[in-house]
């Protein structure tokens, strides 16, 4: 993880990232919830400003209420309790493929300036330096949701000009690429990192820095990005998690397994 | 009872398919088989059956599944696997899996990279008896470079580009269920992932079950049956056979076991120790339950029972 200003604060960067993820969800949206931090982001959104958001999980779960107990992962039994629907993976993916999912969340290991994501092969496929777990549903979420949000650690070796392998398509090599390859819709809307929040220029489809987290400077972000990063003229500071949001997160992640550090 | 018609003999009473776990793996998972497992994604993962595959030191297997949590990593670590056709091989709550990483990075394992949707469509094509299924995912991605089962085609009706996903027809599928009868009819509930298509697509089906119940219990609720019993090859009674994954109605997910496995598989030497303790020293489910210990078993047990209403199938 990147070193931050060590000024005393009463929240962790993981909590800030989850809070930022939650704020990307609007009420009544259909959310394809990914693993780990996004799981908490969805629960936080449902508990605050988006009580009528509906969650779709690739295991074959649709639910519109909170699980009755904290869950570590989407397959935990409390997440099945009084689900709106328990079904097959193809059913959840069908909702996604027909265009019925507003927003999805995916984690990344390596990302490039057009939001293409690699979670498969670092170093390429012939000389594999590091084999990562692969797509899971991420490629599908990036291909088929109306928009997707990427959550990842902001480090120079992860923010590269061109990913070694496209597991989950972003905007390819720029504007028009998704239409050209035949993707029906979507594309990344936001990248939430350990340092800031980035969005995509609507003309060039290139990533631009939109906000920096409290204690993070513009320079820290550009130094940890592997290409000359564009910065929005009205760069803002990411809002801190509120006391209410922190209290809710503590309820969902009581041991701090996901957000403690 | 046998009926004779000329030279033909008919067995009018269905045959019990109940057998031991070692017998089922020995008979239906020969070396070189393609084996589909982990089809509910995070729950009902057939760990006991995979451990028997390891104990029998099977060779040159092809593993098929969407995400496997840590099961594929264990079978890979035991050197049973030649090829993996999957969307994701890792540890759901900790990230990368080390045996899988080592095998790919040392070029000793062939990988066919899928997404969850393409695995689902490949098995559905197998289930439907068609050579491929179309999808709109993955276009523009590099999955096409590391997966010969994916090709782009043009839709004959609309001219839009599509991903054609070639059918996968596993030699055998291994499914853990809550309850089965001895003839191969079984109930499974919870989220079902790609289980139903995988069963229909596979030549043989091995069921491991928490409980063996009378055929009456199963046949009175046919909507809950996972696949037609006549296609099932083996039924094995194996309580806690999905631990540490959760089984709806039986036990919760054992998160600590997944965290421990991460630490106990970091090096090949550590993994050998893990395999000795949790696989090679276990001969039956009673051994496994003793290894788990009463305290852990009671911690994982359901604390709240939530029963559904019964439904009327009458006429």
Rounded to the nearest angstrom, the minimum Cα separation between A231 and chain B is: 27
CA distance B40 to B118: 15
Average pLDDT, rounded, for chain A: 95
Rounded to the nearest angstrom, the minimum Cα separation between B266 and chain A is: 14
Which of B180, B307, B191, B304 is CA-nearest to residue B251?
B304
Three-state secondary-structure class, residue B269: helix
Burial class from Cβ neighbours inside 10 Å (0-12, 13-18, 19+) for residue B303 reads exposed
Instruction: Give strand pairing partners of B203.
Output: none
pLDDT at B130: 98
CA distance A188 to A24: 12
Whether residues B41 and A166 touch (CB distance < 8 A) is answered with no
DSSP state of B132: E
Q: State whether residue B95 sits within 8 Å of chain A by CB.
A: yes
CA distance A113 to B227: 47
Does A48 fall in a domain? yes
CA distance A144 to B140: 12
B260-288 per-position pLDDT tens digit: 999 999 999 999 999 999 999 999 999 99
Range of the domain at B208: 13-295
Whether residues A75 and B43 touch (CB distance < 8 A) is answered with yes
Residue A5 has pLDDT above 60, yes or no: no
CA distance B84 to B100: 10
> In whole angstroms, how far apart are CA B311 and each of B221, B225, B226, B308, B315?
8, 15, 18, 9, 12
Mean pLDDT of A93-114: 97
Please give the model's pTM, rounded to 2 decimal places. Answer: 0.95
CA distance B283 to B266: 25
Range of the domain at A169: 13-252
Question: Per residue in A80-98, is it b (16+ CB within 10 Å) or e — as a string?
Answer: beebeebbbbbbbbebbbe
Residue B84 has pLDDT above 70, yes or no: yes
Does A4 fall in a domain? no
Which run of H or E residues covers position A142?
Answer: helix A138-144
Whether residues B252 and A77 touch (CB distance < 8 A) is answered with yes
pLDDT at A35: 77
Three-state secondary-structure class, residue A167: coil
pLDDT at B8: 61
Which run of H or E residues covers position B72?
Answer: helix B71-77
CA atoms within 13 A on the CB side of B177: 33
CA distance A133 to A129: 13
Instruction: Give strand pairing partners of B95.
Output: B91
Does B314 fall in a domain? no
> B135 to chain A: nearest residue by CA?
A97
Does B2 fall in a domain? no
Which of A236, A240, A245, A161 is CA-nearest to residue A198?
A236
Whether residues A166 and B117 touch (CB distance < 8 A) is answered with no
Q: What confidence category does residue A37 fall into, taking pLDDT thresholds of 50, 70 and 90?
A: confident
> In whole angstroms, how far apart are CA B198 and each of B120, B150, B195?
8, 18, 5
CA atoms within 13 A on the CB side of B287: 10
Residue A261 has pLDDT above 90, yes or no: no
CA atoms within 13 A on the CB side of A255: 8
Would residue B141 be called left, alpha or beta, if left means φ above 0 and alpha means ψ between -120 and 50 degrees? beta
| Number of domains observed in the structure of chain B | 1
Does A259 fall in a domain? no
Residue B7 has pLDDT above 70, yes or no: no
Does B235 fall in a domain? yes
pLDDT at B3: 58
Find residues 156-175 of chain B whose CB sits inside 8 Å of chain A: 160-162
Q: State whether residue B154 sits within 8 Å of chain A by CB.
A: no
Residue A205 has pLDDT above 90, yes or no: yes
Which of A77, A125, A177 lies at the smallest CB-CB distance from B248?
A: A77
B33-64 per-position pLDDT tens digit: 999 999 999 999 999 999 999 999 999 999 99
Which of B42, B95, B115, B48 is CA-nearest to residue B75?
B48
Does A258 fall in a domain? no
The tokens 């398509």 sit on which residue? A169
Does B303 fall in a domain? no
The tokens 């940890």 sit on which residue? A224
Whether residues B141 and A57 touch (CB distance < 8 A) is answered with no
Three-state secondary-structure class, residue B305: coil
B146/A5: higher pLDDT: B146
pLDDT at A1: 47
pLDDT at B11: 57
Whether residues B116 and A58 touch (CB distance < 8 A) is answered with yes
pLDDT at A153: 96
CATH number at residue B76: 3.40.1080.10
Does A191 fall in a domain? yes
Chain B hits for A144, Cβ within 8 Å: 117, 136-137
CATH number at residue A146: 3.40.1080.10
Give Cβ neighbours of residue B245 (< 8 Å, ≥ 6 apart): A75, B42, B43, B44, B45, B47, B69, B253
B12-23 per-position pLDDT tens digit: 567 999 999 999
Q: State whether residue B41 sits within 8 Å of chain A by CB.
A: yes
Instruction: Give strand pairing partners of A193.
Output: A152
Which of B64, B138, B68 is CA-nearest to residue A117?
B138
Q: What confidence category does residue B4 fall into, taking pLDDT thresholds of 50, 70 and 90?
A: low
The tokens 């853990």 sit on which residue? B176
Does A261 fall in a domain? no
Does A53 fall in a domain? yes
Q: State whether residue B248 sits within 8 Å of chain A by CB.
A: yes
Does A5 fall in a domain? no
Contact A184, A145 (CB under 8 A): no
Chain B hits for A57, Cβ within 8 Å: 191
CA distance B49 to B206: 9
Which of B114, B120, B139 lies at the smallest CB-CB distance from A182?
A: B139
Find residues 116-145 of chain B whose CB sits inside 8 Å of chain A: 116-117, 120-121, 124, 135-143, 145
Q: What confidence category does residue A36 fall into, taking pLDDT thresholds of 50, 70 and 90?
A: confident
pLDDT at B1: 47
Q: What confidence category does residue B210 fall into, taking pLDDT thresholds of 50, 70 and 90?
A: very high
CA distance B47 to B243: 7
DSSP state of B279: I
Whether residues B115 and A137 touch (CB distance < 8 A) is answered with yes
Whether residues B115 and A74 touch (CB distance < 8 A) is answered with no
A218-260 per-position pLDDT tens digit: 999 999 999 999 999 999 999 999 999 999 999 999 999 999 8
Three-state secondary-structure class, residue A144: helix
| Number of domains observed in the structure of chain A | 1
A6/B282: higher pLDDT: B282
CA distance B265 to B271: 4
Which of B105, B121, B193 lies at the smallest CB-CB distance from A59?
A: B193
pLDDT at B10: 56
CA distance B249 to A55: 23
Which of A91, A108, A196, A205 is CA-nearest to residue A149?
A108
Residue B125 has pLDDT above 60, yes or no: yes
Q: What confidence category does residue A7 fall into, taking pLDDT thresholds of 50, 70 and 90?
A: low
> In whole angstroms, how far apart are CA B192 and each of A189, B112, B113, B171?
31, 23, 22, 20
Contact A186, A205 (CB under 8 A): no
pLDDT at B9: 61
Query: Which residues of A are known to be catalytic?
Result: 58
């Amino acid at each position: 993880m990147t070193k931050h200003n060590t000024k005393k604060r009463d929240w962790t960067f993981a909590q800030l990232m989850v809070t930022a993820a939650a704020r990307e969800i609007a009420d009544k949206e259909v959310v394809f919830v990914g693993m780990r931090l996004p799981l908490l982001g969805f629960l936080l959104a449902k508990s605050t400003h988006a009580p009528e958001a509906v969650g779709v999980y690739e295991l074959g779960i649709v639910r519109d209420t909170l699980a009755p107990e904290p869950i570590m992962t989407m397959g935990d039994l409390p997440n099945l309790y009084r689900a709106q629907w328990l079904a097959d993976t193809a059913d959840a993916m069908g909702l996604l493929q027909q265009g019925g999912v507003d927003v999805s969340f995916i984690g990344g290991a390596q990302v490039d300036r057009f939001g293409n994501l690699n979670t498969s092969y670092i170093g390429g496929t012939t000389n594999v330096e590091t084999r990562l777990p692969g797509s899971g549903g991420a490629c599908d979420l990036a291909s088929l949701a109306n928009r997707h949000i990427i959550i990842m650690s902001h480090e120079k070796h992860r923010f590269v000009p061109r990913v070694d392998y496209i597991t989950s398509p972003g905007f390819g090599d720029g504007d028009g690429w998704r239409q050209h390859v035949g993707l029906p819709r979507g594309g990344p809307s936001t990248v939430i990192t350990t340092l800031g929040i980035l969005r995509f220029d609507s003309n060039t489809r290139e990533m631009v820095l939109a906000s920096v987290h409290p204690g993070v400077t513009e320079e820290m972000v550009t130094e940890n990005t592997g290409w000359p990063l564009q910065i929005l003229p009205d760069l803002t500071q990411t809002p801190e998690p509120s006391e209410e949001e922190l209290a809710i997160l503590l309820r969902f992640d009581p041991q701090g397994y996901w957000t403690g550090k | 009872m046998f009926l004779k018609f000329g030279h033909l003999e008919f067995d009018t009473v269905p045959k019990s398919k109940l057998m031991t776990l070692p017998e089922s793996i020995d008979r239906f998972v020969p070396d070189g088989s393609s084996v589909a497992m982990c089809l509910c994604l995070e729950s009902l993962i057939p760990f006991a059956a995979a451990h028997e595959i390891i104990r029998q030191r099977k060779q040159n297997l092809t593993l098929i599944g969407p995400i496997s949590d840590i099961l594929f990593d264990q079978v890979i670590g035991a050197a049973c696997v030649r090829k993996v056709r999957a969307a994701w091989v890792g540890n759901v709550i900790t990230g990368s899996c080390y045996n899988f990483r080592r095998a790919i990075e040392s070029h000793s394992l062939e990988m066919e990279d899928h997404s969850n949707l393409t695995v689902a469509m490949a098995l559905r094509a197998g289930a439907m008896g068609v050579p491929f299924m179309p999808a709109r995912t993955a276009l523009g991605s590099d999955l096409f470079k590391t997966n010969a089962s994916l090709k782009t085609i043009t839709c004959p009706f609309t001219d839009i580009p599509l991903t054609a996903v070639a059918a996968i027809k596993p030699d055998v599928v291994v499914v853990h269920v809550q309850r089965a009868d001895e003839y191969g009819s079984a109930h499974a509930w919870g989220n079902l992932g790609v289980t139903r298509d995988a069963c229909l697509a596979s030549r043989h089906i091995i069921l491991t079950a928490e409980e063996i119940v009378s055929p009456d219990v199963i046949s009175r609720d046919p909507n809950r049956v996972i696949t037609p019993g006549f296609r099932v090859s083996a039924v094995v009674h194996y309580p806690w056979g999905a631990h540490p994954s959760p089984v709806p109605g039986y036990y919760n997910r054992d998160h600590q076991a997944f965290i421990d496995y991460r630490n106990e598989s970091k090096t090949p030497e550590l993994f050998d120790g893990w395999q000795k303790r949790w696989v090679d020293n276990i001969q039956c489910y009673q051994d496994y339950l003793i290894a788990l210990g009463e305290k852990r078993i009671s911690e994982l047990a359901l604390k709240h029972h939530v029963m559904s209403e019964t439904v009327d199938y009458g006429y």
